[in-house]
Chain A
Amino acid sequence: MVQRGFNRLSGAVWAAATLSLAVGVVAPTAAQKSSEPVPVRTAERFASKTLPLIKTHCLSCHSGESAQGGVRFDLIREARQLLDDTQLWDRALINLRNQTMPPARSKMPTEAERMELITGIHTVLLAESRPEDPGRVTVRRLNRFEYGNTVRDLLGVDLHPEEDFPSDDVGYGFDNIGDVLSLSPLHLDGYLRAAEKLVAEALPGRRSASAKLETEKFQVQGGVNLRGGQLVFFSNGTAGGELVFPKRGRYALRFSAHGTQAGGDLPRLIVSLDGQGIDAIDLRGSEENPVEYELQLETRQGRARLDFAFVNDFYDPNHPDAGRRDRNAFVNEVHLVGPIGDASNLTPLQRELAPTLPGAGQERAAAQRSLRPFAEKAYRRPLTEDEFRRIMGLYDRGLRQGGHDQGLRLAVTGMLVSPSFLFRTEAVSGSGPAGDLNGWQLAARLSYFLWGTLPDAELRRVAADGTLTRPEVLEAQAMRMLKDSRSNALADSFAMQWLELGRLQTRLPDPKLFPDWSDGLRKDMVEETRLFFLDIMRRDASITDFLTAKHTFLNARLARLYGVGGVTGDEFRRVSLEGTPRSGLLTQAGILTVTSNPTRTSPVKRGKWVLDVILGAPPPPPPPGVADLVEKDEPGQQPLTVRDRTELHREDPACAGCHAKMDPIGFGLENFDGIGRWREKDGSMEIDASGKLPGGVKFDGPEELVEILVGRSDELARTFAERLSTYALGRGMRNADRGFLDSVVQKAQREDLKFSAFVRAIVSSDAFRRTTLTPDKKP
């Protein structure tokens, strides 16, 4: 059985904290001495009120060498001992909250006693949350998602080289955790190759539109023949036609021409546009050796007539040299090039770095002007002089090798594989235990949190002038960014990981049992949940809508699966679910499929998903060596439903404790089959979708289940705050973050759990705006 670890703080624990607010738990003050791990008053209260309750209700099982589950509470004498194993006490809180401990056969604590246990333990655990320890984030390598977005926005090309990168390491449920993201030669190989490909695309060789004129269609007057496309002037005459200039601007007329020589003058060709002479050319060259000519012309947009005229025909039939008797002119292929230097022919990066090629000797100065702002964007901070000198060093090598453009190419390639680009570093200097992040560091945190990419011009502006360090500016920027379409990144990256939908990629339902299944359906399922998440975010609804919303987003294929009529085509649209048993995430096909086995539903996996993802109270993994469900019916016996088999499994006392929490939740969803279709029967047997949760709450069917879960919205809020903070900060939550998460939930609760309230509370926290400066202990 695979599942997350426990060292994450859980929603259930946090729900307990909400209750504790009434008794005045506040963040510890700076006056508190760090030598004293638990404030004196907290310790006294624990010793006098909480500890006696632990002794009364827990010690009969949890004491001595043979303590149940190896968990001993008889050694606890004072509050500070709780901090030695906060994970254990987190679990204790979950069990108290879920009323799974003490077990039913024991003498039960009264409700007031239970609250005292929860509050007393939580308050002690809160002692580690100190303002001088906002936490520290290890340098973060850009993950695949961030790299792809960043190079797209930085270079303006859409190549997606990140698709070939190795997958990112995952920690605490997310793939953007600095501690965990590693870098191997395979990565660097990928970055080098990607940088070369990207730069080749973003800074290609310069080109202008060039068109060969259809000279064979020219109109002629006088002594001109058209031999194919060649203009042959055997006597004075004119050949010309109409040109179309797509834009106003400078163009070049390129052609090769030659003459046959006779008499004292060279053959003269007059080139004119709309009757205005552009140039008079005296033709040298010969048939074997024609000369290339280029004429520059300025023109307005539109049509204009181009004419070539041969004006000095000469004929001396008596010249002794037969090759010098007849003066003629020949014009071969004619090309119109341009508009020259027009930005529309340039790539976005060329426009930014070098719209025109600098003149000789001017290259280096031009490169300095354009590369510095580019480098600030790429590194997401101002550069030191040394850093910029190194970049210019790379430019110089390229310049020597292949000119200005090559210099730029090399410099940009180098930056794209520099650790300053690939890693998000936050060097903060200072002498205290903690320091403030500067504007640039905040800008990068904001933009990678909300957009999954580098800061835009507006963010760079408030970073550069330092105003972003003001809390009200920071919040305002966060709200601006949340409204911007780029915050779709939260749905693409955060939501997919929080809801574990990434795993849908590897789910392969049995096609014999689920003939409707297809890759297209898989994509639709992901899209439904993505749009649903976005909708809540865009409406800034309460996060309880994740459970209760009576609408979703469907296309025809998914609507067919749901049995909803009137939806046609591939386009998704908002569809009401009123009058159906579906509501919110729990009844969406993607979630129901990702928590099923290939051949059947798994109430256990569904229950575990809800406990973990929604309530933040993941059950422990099963002990090794336990048998799985019996898959086949015994011959001659009554056929069993998945529910029956799951119930059988729970007869084993070793399993019953945890499965009493998980399985009933899954039973409530049994009306949805392994790919989320509604069903009344499992095989030939009627579905029983009723369940009883620990503590005795009963329900029947998905709608009543959702109602119960909504009643536990505190836990949902805690879980959501904890997951979103992990994603926002790129680090796991520690016991010391308990106070920070408390405050996020309180602020969100004051705003009815609106989506944006969570974002605002996180970005305005010390955890987001400050960093612990004390160096890491060596692991």
Chain B
Amino acid sequence: MSTLDRRTLLKGIGTVMALPALEAMLPSTALASSAPAQSTAVRMAFLFVPNGINMAKWTPGSVGALGELPETLRPLAPLKSKFNVITGLAQMNAFANGDGPGDHARSAATWLTGVQARKTAGSDIRAGISADQVAALSKIGRSTKFPSLEIGCERGAMAGDCDSGYSCAYSSSIAWRTESTPVAKEVTPRALFERLFGSGNPGEDAQSLEMRRQGRASVLDFIMEEAAALQGRLGGKDRQKLDEYFTSVREIEQRLTAQEKRTADSALAGVTIPAPGIPMDRGAHIRLMGDMMILAFQADLTRVATFMFANEGSNRPYREIGVTDGHHDISHHGKDGSKLQHKQQIDAYHVEQLAYILKRMSEIQEPTGSLLDNSMIVFGGGISDGDRHNHDDLPILFAGGAGGRMKGGRHMVYEPHTPMTNMFISMLDYMGVQVDKLGDSTGKLQGLF
């Protein structure tokens, strides 16, 4: 793998700084020539948008080779050979199935898990392990510093106004580490940067760096013992909570060891550190978070990511493009022409940001093609029509070459109600992770690769 351009610049807001010092846990031997061991690693990302899609402006008119793109997909025209539109997939367990209202909560909770989320406003939340986390917990996740990356643009709801008796955890998470543990996501660009690349002081000398590294190792040993001792004294749900703690400590320890083996921090020479805070402009925010996801892929810090452009049910207006009503309000269009048009505008705006991310990935060269060629990027949502709240005929777009196996430029149409989880089984299988079943899957998705 070629070393990365030492002057790689992240676009977006921020100030240029010198090479940031490495975080305590990084070894002090960052060599410009050290390169990720595996050159053909395939990356996987799931990009989520809420409140359904104006499907009339999304679904291509014909099956097979993509002709003229529907209005919403037009920003992707230059990349037409790099993606497929997939029609017919469904998440049947996101329907009420007797649980009553709460389609937004279920949309997000089911999107990558394929299971019926338990209807509860708080205690005993339960969905299922998500496709990305299956990869993160496998050897794929174990071979990088971060097993997976969870990012988004909106924090979880801060006040108790969740969807119809469903916990807020459902509508603000798509990644589930276990069936009771959604994975928190990072929404602040600066915090994401520091998590990925460290926040050390540029002037810090090797001795003090080594002291910090050793200190952190000691602290991790210490808290492992603390947790083990405490666990003996607790039971039931308390123990579950402590398990989450254990898992987190282990992951961080594992990262420490993984990092000893390999580093690609040279990728960071001259990157732009994002300014603190969150950009007001949603497009800028998505692009900035996307930049860092790309950088993390590029530097092989992780191979698995989930990215929520917005939380499910989000009611944010999109003033950037002249939409002053809330996204959720608009999605209940009642076939009103102006609402449908506004919905399409928001959809297209999200697709524009997707186009930016895909284009950048296509420009990063790796020995066996571009980063995009070596990736599987799924973009879409868990609701089809925002007004009907239906979870079949889902809007799904599959981009990237999957390491040369995926042929793009097609509109693939499957039987109605084909489980979307079948696609995940195929993707995981392709990454070398054999899974018999995920949620409601019935097998692989034929003809995907």
Contact = CB atoms under 8 A, between A and B. Distances in A.
Contacts of A4: 121, 160-162, 165
Given A138-B241, A188-B248, 19 more contacts: A3-B162, A4-B160, A167-B157, A169-B167, A173-B160, A183-B245, A185-B247, A186-B195, A193-B199, A401-B211, A413-B215, A419-B227, A423-B245, A425-B230, A503-B161, A625-B389, A630-B336, A631-B338, A775-B236
Given A184-B248, A192-B252, A508 B317 contact: yes
A7 interface: yes
Interface string A413-438: 11001111011010100000000000
Contacts of A427: 233-234
A166 B192 CA distance: 11
B225 interface: yes
A386 B161 CA distance: 44
B313 interface: yes
Nearest to B254: A185
B164 A394 contact: no
A632 B123 CA distance: 42
Contacts of B181: 182, 184
Interface string B202-220: 0000000001101110110
Contacts of A180: 122-123, 125, 167, 169
Interface stretch (A206-214, A494-502, A539-547): A494-502
Contact of B184 (A184, A497, A500): A184
B67 interface: no
Interface residues of A, number: 98
Contacts of B157: 167, 170, 503
Contacts of A52: none
Interface of B: 24, 96, 100-104, 119-126, 150, 155-169, 177, 180-188, 190-191, 194-195, 199, 211-212, 214-216, 218-219, 222-223, 225-227, 229-230, 233-238, 241-242, 244-245, 247-249, 251-252, 313, 315-317, 319, 324-326, 328-329, 332-334, 336, 338-339, 387-389
Contacts of A414: 218-219, 222-223, 226
A532 interface: no
B126 to A, nearest CB: 7
B278 to A, nearest CB: 11
A5 B165 contact: yes
Given A173-B160, A183-B244, A5 B121 contact: yes
A183 B241 contact: yes
Contacts of B219: 192, 195, 394, 410, 413-414, 417
Contact of A170 (B158, B216, B222): B158
B164 A5 contact: yes
Contacts of A138: 123, 237-238, 241
Contacts of A391: 222
A295 B350 CA distance: 71
B181 to A, nearest CB: 6
B101 A623 contact: yes
Given A138-B241, A185-B248, A631 B162 contact: no
B156 A503 contact: no
A184 B177 contact: yes
Given A141-B241, A180-B123, A192-B252, A632 B338 contact: yes
Nearest to B171: A2
Contact of A186 (B104, B183, B227): B183
A678 interface: no
B161 A419 contact: no
B237 A597 contact: no
Contact of B186 (A186, A387, A406, A597): A186
Contact of A390 (B155, B222, B334, B338): B222
A37 interface: no
A172 B160 contact: yes
Interface string A603-633: 0000000000000000011111111101110
A632 B342 CA distance: 14
A506 interface: yes
B226 A500 contact: no
Nearest to B242: A419
A506 B229 CA distance: 42
A139 B123 contact: no
Given A186-B195, A419-B226, A425-B230, A3 B161 contact: yes
Nearest to B156: A167
Contacts of B313: 2
Interface of A: 1-8, 138-139, 141, 164, 166-175, 177-190, 192-193, 195-196, 384, 386-387, 390-391, 393-394, 397-398, 401-402, 406, 409-410, 413-414, 417-420, 422-423, 425, 427, 496-497, 500-503, 505-506, 508, 510-512, 597-599, 620-628, 630-632, 731-732, 775-779
Contact of B218 (A181, A394, A420, A501): A394
A174 B121 CA distance: 11
A179 B122 contact: yes
A626 B324 CA distance: 22
A631 B336 contact: yes
Contact of B167 (A170, A178, A627): A170
Nearest to A723: B160
Q: Which of A173, A187, A394, A779 has the most CB of B within 10 A?
A: A779
Contacts of A195: 219
A512 B184 contact: no
B244 A169 contact: no
B399 to A, nearest CB: 26
Nearest to B199: A193
A189 B244 CA distance: 13
Contact of A164 (B191, B233, B238, B317): B191
Q: Which of A170, A179, A620, A732 has the most CB of B within 10 A?
A: A170
27 contacts: A2-B313, A4-B162, A5-B120, A169-B168, A170-B157, A170-B159, A170-B162, A171-B160, A177-B122, A182-B181, A183-B248, A192-B219, A192-B252, A390-B222, A398-B218, A410-B219, A414-B223, A419-B226, A420-B226, A420-B230, A425-B238, A506-B316, A511-B319, A599-B324, A631-B325, A732-B121, A778-B236
A418 B162 contact: no
Given A3-B161, A419-B226, A186 B184 contact: yes
A264 B310 CA distance: 87
A148 to B, nearest CB: 15
A500 B157 CA distance: 11
A23 B153 CA distance: 55
A183 B216 CA distance: 19
A419 B191 contact: no
- Would you list the 4 A-B pairs with minimal beta carbon distance, nearest first? A171-B122, A5-B165, A173-B160, A776-B236
B93 to A, nearest CB: 16
A427 B234 CA distance: 7
B213 to A, nearest CB: 11
B199 to A, nearest CB: 7
Contact of B230 (A166, A419, A732, A779): A419
